[in-house]
Amino acid sequence: MKKTICIIGAGASGITILEKLIKHIDKFQVICYEKQDWIGGIWHPLHLTHTYPGMILNGSKEDFDLLNPKIEDVLKQKVDNFFSKEVYYKYLITKVKTNNIDKFIKFNHRMEICKYSTEIKKFEVTVQNEHTVYNKFFDYVIVANGIYTIENKLKDELQVLISNFKGKIFHSKYLYQNNNFHNKKILIIGGGPSAEDVALHAINQKAKSITINSKNDWIVSSKWPKIINFENKIINIDQNLVIYDSNNKENIDIIILCIGYNHDLNFLNQYNNLSFDNTFYYNLYDSIFHIDNPQLMFIGYIDPFFSLVLFEHQAEYIIKYLIQEIVLPNKAEMYKSMNIWKEKSMTLKDERYDKGKLIVEYLNNINKITKRQLETKELLNQINIEFNKKEKNILNFKK
């Protein structure tokens, strides 16, 4: 009798695991539930939060060329070194059509509850579509709903200060809907990749001034134009006047919160105990298998360096487990392994550079299982190229 597999989400990671699974369709019955009416998640052209039309990806073509087949071979066209959201979506949808993946996807189906029965050793999922709510049982569940779901909240002290602000304020998730920065004074709170993207966008929009409020050395280390200022801490906000611990003060028109996202696992009552450091999620063995129940798996629940390369390797790992080519260690060994990665992640010296190297180390580790071709030197080289370009002139980074 075929084992049954439920996949939650048909974005980039969901498409990747589906593509692998259908090669073993003689062994499994597979259903993917997608809450939207489209494939591709945040990369779909109609998805206007998180991403926006014309958005250029942070990953370069060289990263995608580490896949087999390469992106230009899939699209049968030349691709810029740094390409747009639309090109990435075309790549995803081409993979879907080539492999007839969409016939395994149920659109407009929202996962409401996913619970495990120790008696029958199966998951019972409750799914809602536009017509009804129904239950179904599965042997395995693979969560592929992405980690860019719920925007993070400000810390209480800063939230109180922000409440005094009289200008416009929004999370970077809603950048497309608040796109007019011309001649505006912008304050960006946060120092991660989204803060970098928003700052570059504001420069292109001819903002009057741009201040980045961040303690993150990574974003400060890039060579920025003179319009960019950095401030360490906000100590007061009085209407539009923002005062910093440097004793500098300025009137601000727009505050943009680039403070990241959290996952949405409200449907996982029993196993909603994942916590994130700055690289890995805890309670997952090799960032894939829930240690309390490895029949529950996650793909893409890791800081998204080399995202598609990560998805490919994690998907191969999952397949090896599902077809019983590998056996996972016992719970004690899994926790021991997880804590080793946790310690490595918590002692990173450089927020992005060392994190990139740690992700490469992680890929090397799971490649012992997947035994795929992995160009480790090329991955590390891409990290070096990225940071060297930013240190010279961040405006030329994606050219």
Please give the full DSSP string across 357-386, using - where no structure is assigned: HHHHHHHHHHHHHH-----HHHHHHHHHHH
Structural domain includes residue 392: no
Asked if pLDDT for residue 218 goes beyond 80, the answer is no
Give the C-alpha separation, 381 to 127, whole Å: 44
Give the C-alpha separation, 56 to 154, whole Å: 27
Average pLDDT along the chain = 90
- Kindly state the DSSP code that residue 282 receives in the 8-state scheme: T
**Judgement on whether residues 274 and 134 belong to the same structural domain of the protein:** yes
The residue with tokens 């919160």 is: 257
- Vertex 58 angle, CA 276 and 318, to 5°: 50
Choose between 338 and 279: higher pLDDT. 338
Give residue 221's pLDDT. Answer: 82
Give residue 50's pLDDT. Answer: 79
How many domains are contained in the chain?
2
**Judgement on whether residues 246 and 313 belong to the same structural domain of the protein:** no
Give the C-alpha separation, 168 to 119, whole Å: 53
Tell me: the pLDDT tens digits for 24-42?
Answer: 999 999 999 999 998 998 8
Give the C-alpha separation, 118 to 153, whole Å: 36
Give residue 289's pLDDT. Answer: 97
pTM for this entry: 0.93
Confidence of residue 348 (pLDDT cuts 50, 70, 90): confident
Choose between 359 and 220: higher pLDDT. 359
**Judgement on whether residues 142 and 7 belong to the same structural domain of the protein:** yes
Give residue 278's pLDDT. Answer: 63
Structure tokens at 137: 């049982």
Structure tokens at 115: 């619970």
User: Which range, of 188-192, 243-247, 307-311, 320-324, averages the lowest pLDDT?
Assistant: 307-311
In one-letter notation, the amino acid at residue 208 is: K
**Judgement on whether residues 187 and 231 belong to the same structural domain of the protein:** yes
Mean pLDDT confidence for 85-105: 92
**Judgement on whether residues 127 and 96 belong to the same structural domain of the protein:** yes
Q: What are phi and psi of 142, to 5 degrees?
A: -120, 115
**Judgement on whether residues 174 and 122 belong to the same structural domain of the protein:** no
Structural domain includes residue 353: yes
Do 270 and 251 contact (CB within 8 A), yes or no? Answer: no
- Vertex 104 angle, CA 98 and 106, to 5°: 125
Q: Over pLDDT 70: what percentage of the chain?
A: 99
**Judgement on whether residues 242 and 113 belong to the same structural domain of the protein:** no
User: Which range, of 217-226, 240-249, 321-330, averages the lowest pLDDT?
Assistant: 217-226
Confidence of residue 23 (pLDDT cuts 50, 70, 90): very high
Confidence of residue 351 (pLDDT cuts 50, 70, 90): low
Of 243, 259, 275, which one is at a domain's C-terminal end?
Answer: 259
Asked if pLDDT for residue 361 goes beyond 80, the answer is yes
Do 171 and 198 contact (CB within 8 A), yes or no? Answer: no
**Judgement on whether residues 56 and 71 belong to the same structural domain of the protein:** yes
Q: What are phi and psi of 107, to 5 degrees?
A: -80, 160
Do 254 and 242 contact (CB within 8 A), yes or no? Answer: no
Give residue 227's pLDDT. Answer: 96
Which alpha helices (DSSP H) does the chain contain, by range? 12-21, 61-64, 71-75, 85-99, 156-162, 193-204, 217-220, 307-322, 331-346, 353-370, 376-392
Confidence of residue 282 (pLDDT cuts 50, 70, 90): confident
**Judgement on whether residues 140 and 169 belong to the same structural domain of the protein:** no
**Judgement on whether residues 252 and 299 belong to the same structural domain of the protein:** no
Mean pLDDT confidence for 219-231: 92
Give the C-alpha separation, 268 to 393, whole Å: 45
Asked if pLDDT for residue 49 goes beyond 80, the answer is no
- Which of helix, strand or coil describes residue 166? coil
In one-letter notation, the amino acid at residue 19 is: E
Asked if pLDDT for residue 149 goes beyond 90, the answer is no
Give residue 373's pLDDT. Answer: 74
Range of the domain at 133: 3-149+263-372
DSSP string, 243-267: EETTS-EEE-SEEEE---EE---TT
Do 212 and 191 contact (CB within 8 A), yes or no? Answer: yes
**Judgement on whether residues 130 and 276 belong to the same structural domain of the protein:** yes
Of 232, 259, 286, which one is at a domain's C-terminal end?
Answer: 259
For the domain that residue 309 is a member of, what is the CATH number?
3.50.50.60
Give the C-alpha separation, 229 to 231, whole Å: 7
Mean pLDDT confidence for 90-104: 92
Tell me: the pLDDT tens digits for 153-209?
Answer: 898 899 999 999 999 999 998 998 888 899 999 999 998 888 999 999 999 999 999
State how beta strands 28-33 and 105-106 pair: parallel
Structural domain includes residue 286: yes
Structural domain includes residue 394: no
Asked if pLDDT for residue 121 goes beyond 90, the answer is yes
Give the C-alpha separation, 164 to 161, whole Å: 6
Asked if pLDDT for residue 277 goes beyond 70, the answer is no
